[in-house]
Amino acid sequence: MKSAITIDNIGKTFKVPHERRDTLKESLLGIGRRRTYEDFNVLKDVNIEVNSGDFVGIVGKNGSGKSTLLKLIAGIYRPTNGSVSVHGRIAPFLELGVGFQPELSARENIIVNGTLLGLTRKQIKEKFAEIVKFAEIENFLDLKIKNYSSGMKARLAFAIAKEADADIYLCDEVLAVGDESFQKKCLEVFDAWKKAGKTIILVSHNASQIEQLCSRAMLLDGGSVAMEGSPVEVIAEYHRRMAAAGRDL
């Protein structure tokens, strides 16, 4: 099988300041005082091989490193150690709607974001009506994005990003967006990607979606891959660990 993503012994460490300085006043008062930091190891010794056409689900409790892993694959973060090799064009569905320009309308943001995704003006024009229909924003097209709800922004971001012609799709909790009807449309998009042989990595807290969609799954725990295998087996272990953690609280 052709490799799509190779993750070789990567680790990611963030430096967390002991003292927060959120305002200008706090920063000025802190002048001359040495700032101290603590290393926070989000990921450590992670080794993953994803083949072309794989649909991989990733589960784990909050803080286990799931989103950080996707950002390392997307090239948003650089690993502290180890390496990430990606073979193919990536479409990252991460923090949907963050890249929108708040003072621009939805119509204008479709053009801007479509261009950033590599679509030509002609392609954006051809796909425009489908993007608007999919996002269900027909009556709010000329409203500034700053007046959109978080759900509306996420729906629009998904509708635009799905038009990118990519080999690899990185999806972080995208199926948590919208109502049941919109989620059904998203599932149809995933099904189309699967049939087209695309490579997909899905982070989700919804166990049934992982079992329904994915061909394999992995469990992150404490920044490391604790288990990898069939979705049913991995989800069972995930639930077992979550139940055990609950009993320890």
Position 95 scores a pLDDT of: 73
Alpha-carbon gap, residue 141 to 151, rounded angstroms: 15
pLDDT tens-digit map of 13-22: 987 765 555 5
Within-domain flag for 231 = yes
Q: Which helix (H) or strand (E) holds 91?
A: strand 90-93
Within-domain flag for 154 = no
Position 174 scores a pLDDT of: 80
pLDDT tens-digit map of 28-44: 555 556 667 678 889 99
Position 249 scores a pLDDT of: 36
Within-domain flag for 140 = no
Q: Determine contact, residues 227/237, Cβ cutoff 8 Å.
A: yes
Within-domain flag for 42 = yes
- Give the chain's domain count: 1
Alpha-carbon gap, residue 143 to 137, rounded angstroms: 10
Position 93 scores a pLDDT of: 84
Residue type, 222: G
Cβ neighbours of 16 (radius 10 Å): 10
Alpha-carbon gap, residue 160 to 101, rounded angstroms: 14
Alpha-carbon gap, residue 196 to 202, rounded angstroms: 17
Within-domain flag for 175 = yes
The residue range of the domain holding 233 is 3-89+166-248
Whole-angstrom CA distances from 76 to 68, 81, 174 are 9, 15, 18
Which stretches of the chain score pLDDT less than 70? 17-35, 37, 177-178, 247-249
Sheet of strand 168-172, all strands in order from the earlier edge strand to the far edge: 90-93, 168-172, 199-203, 55-59, 216-221, 224-229
Within-domain flag for 117 = no
Within-domain flag for 54 = yes
Q: What is the CATH number of the domain that holds 85?
A: 3.40.50.300
Within-domain flag for 150 = no
